[in-house]
Amino acid sequence: MDLPDLPGRPDLPGRPGLPGLPDLPDLADLVIQDADVVDGTGAPSYRADVAVKGGRIVAIVQEAAAAGCQRPRGMRELDAEGLVLSPGFIDMHAHSDLALLRDPDHGAKAAQGVTLEVIGQDGLSYAPVDDRTLAQVRQAITGWNGPGDDVDFDWRSVGEYLDRLDRGIAVNAAYLIPQGTVRALAVGWEDRPATPEELDRMRRLVAEGMEQGAVGLSSGLTYPPGGYADTAELVELCRVVASYGGYYCPHHRSYGAGALTAYAEMVEIARRADCPLHLAHATLNFPGNEGRAPELLALLDDALASGVDVTFDTYPYTAGCTTLAALLPGWAHAGGPEALSARLADAETAERIRHALEVTGSDGCHGVPVDWDTVEVSGVTDPALAGYVGRTIRASAQRDGEEPWATARRLLLDDGLGTTVLLHVGHEENVRTLMRHRAHTGGSDGILQGARPHPRAYGTFPHYLGHYVREWGVLSLEECVAHLTGRPAARLRLPDRGLVREGYRADLVLFDPATVAAGATWDRPRTPPVGIPYVLIDGRFVIEDGRRTDVPAGRAVRRVPVSR
């Protein structure tokens, strides 16, 4: 299996290790000996010694011991017998925007072998902002990242946020400009078309963010205010992104009823803007979409055949995760979080919201009438509400002797819109079918908040390797590693990451293919994985002998400039 042909991908420097004796460094910082190298291209594995110096791979000597040739020597030599050496995993959809700043350990990702996360997802994050917009965004996505009371928001622009990351974080991070935040800054939270002047300002904000190092633009088109944008507005912003060599990463308008139409809109935006497209957490959920993954893949194959540059990511679980407030109709959010709370407090308006949720199917619930048996509370902001965690909305309503909407409405108001929920609406057949596709990459969509977060936050990458590779054989090991490393690096246009290759940065993972597995479960979602004893970023150990070190090896990974 080869890496996908991604238009505009920069030429990749370096070369794979060759049999025999390359030019060896006098003394490497580290030599990983007798590893089974799975290099991220999808090619068959090979046995080799890999030498690291100055944060980069400086030599790869295949079958060094068997050939009897000179082996690279290092200040440290690590016996990797029985372990696979692969590039570090790239989480194409992460919600660690504040976690990276508040948690120097960040073991949720480091322990999985993740060496790079792509943040700024779903159209809502913390740059670019002004004081008003920052306060609104913080409240709107409290359920994703917490209120942020423990973070010093000493930035306003994309560049300033990336500079903040450069002070030292657990793993590397690339940033997508959040289209919803841009719209909040230029237009506000009103449900209306942008004026020409407002559209010009959004274009400038996107251009500034790209110039400051963002890798693309994200949208959350079931989340306000980004979802208030029409197709033409999104095309205009994507044209700016494309001119800088970035890509568009939408959470589109529906993953339920009308999902295929929503996917088709994103393909049309990419076509009209001539912008690379990466579909965020590309699932087909809810009852009406069971078994329909082949229809989505046919749509994507047609797009690829016609020259549209498309990739996508998925997480290897059937349940989704979002905030309880996100299920509400878009019109209820108009004006921002305070306006939404006021509507919920008004009995007549709250009844309209209930009708949209339970009868017609709100856009926030993907056009499907909500089934409260599938909505499980995973986290609350107010500790006094902890008794709701781990229960579905219907189960809590039955306990309290009321209708489910009464329970949901009370939670929304009492928790300041900060309640996080799991949505048990997915289909295993769709999950497996999508992950086999040539344009697929891995992303956790990991929300780290709440007492019982989705286990994907702590388990996505070892779950791919243990469950779907070793136990079920859905992918070969080499294929799966390519999905988690080389393919996403190509999408991000990273010239020196994502492969085990001489000259590349030593972002590396050593794992045991016989034991690697997610430890995280629904009941114990923060349990660390097993079978991943070593993780390196720029040649520095962030996981050593299965334990987190105190090394803050991560930095911001900025867009690679292209000729305009």
pTM of the predicted model as reported, rounded to 2 decimal places: 0.95
Structural tokens at position 476:
């070969």
> In whole angstroms, what is the distance from residue 198 CA to residue 190 CA?
12
Going by pLDDT thresholds of 50, 70 and 90, the confidence category of residue 359 is very high
E-state strands within 120-232: 172-178, 216-220
Contacts (Cβ under 8 Å, ≥6 apart) of 128 = 156, 157, 158, 177, 181, 182, 185, 205, 208, 209
Going by pLDDT thresholds of 50, 70 and 90, the confidence category of residue 66 is low
SS3 278: strand
Calculate the average pLDDT of the chain.
94
Q: What is the pLDDT of residue 8?
A: 37
Q: What is the pLDDT of residues 147-189, one digit of tens each?
A: 999 999 999 999 999 999 999 999 999 999 999 999 999 999 9
Q: What is the pLDDT of residues 470-502, one digit of tens each?
A: 999 999 999 999 999 999 999 999 999 999 999
Provide mean pLDDT across the span 331-344: 96
Identify the CA nearest to 374 among candidates 429, 319, 417.
319
Q: What is the pLDDT of residue 5?
A: 47
Provide mean pLDDT across the span 252-277: 97
Q: What is the pLDDT of residue 4?
A: 44
**Residue 482 vs residues 3, 6, 201, 438, 564: alpha-carbon distances, Å:** 7, 14, 39, 10, 30
Going by pLDDT thresholds of 50, 70 and 90, the confidence category of residue 20 is very low
**Residue 548 vs residues 257, 261, 536, 540: alpha-carbon distances, Å:** 43, 44, 11, 12
| Bigger pLDDT: 465 vs 12 | 465
Q: What is the pLDDT of residue 24?
A: 67
Give the pairing type, strands 540-544 and 534-537: antiparallel
Structural tokens at position 401:
């002797």
Q: What is the pLDDT of residue 10?
A: 40
Q: What is the pLDDT of residues 76-134, one digit of tens each?
A: 999 999 999 999 999 999 999 999 999 999 999 999 999 999 999 999 999 999 999 99
Q: What is the pLDDT of residue 1?
A: 37
> In whole angstroms, what is the distance from residue 472 CA to residue 476 CA?
10
Q: What is the pLDDT of residue 23?
A: 63
Chain centroid, CA 436 distance in Å: 18
Q: What is the pLDDT of residue 6?
A: 42
CA gyration radius, the chain: 23
Q: What is the pLDDT of residues 277-311, one digit of tens each?
A: 999 999 999 999 999 999 999 999 999 999 999 99
Going by pLDDT thresholds of 50, 70 and 90, the confidence category of residue 65 is low
Provide mean pLDDT across the span 186-196: 97
Going by pLDDT thresholds of 50, 70 and 90, the confidence category of residue 19 is very low
Provide mean pLDDT across the span 417-446: 97
Q: What is the pLDDT of residues 70-86, one digit of tens each?
A: 889 999 999 999 999 99
Provide mean pLDDT across the span 350-369: 96
Going by pLDDT thresholds of 50, 70 and 90, the confidence category of residue 561 is confident
> In whole angstroms, what is the distance from residue 287 CA to residue 256 CA?
8
Q: What is the pLDDT of residue 397?
A: 98
Q: What is the pLDDT of residue 26?
A: 79
The answer to whether residue 439 scores a pLDDT higher than 70 is: yes
Going by pLDDT thresholds of 50, 70 and 90, the confidence category of residue 2 is very low
Q: What is the pLDDT of residue 63?
A: 85
Provide mean pLDDT across the span 228-255: 98
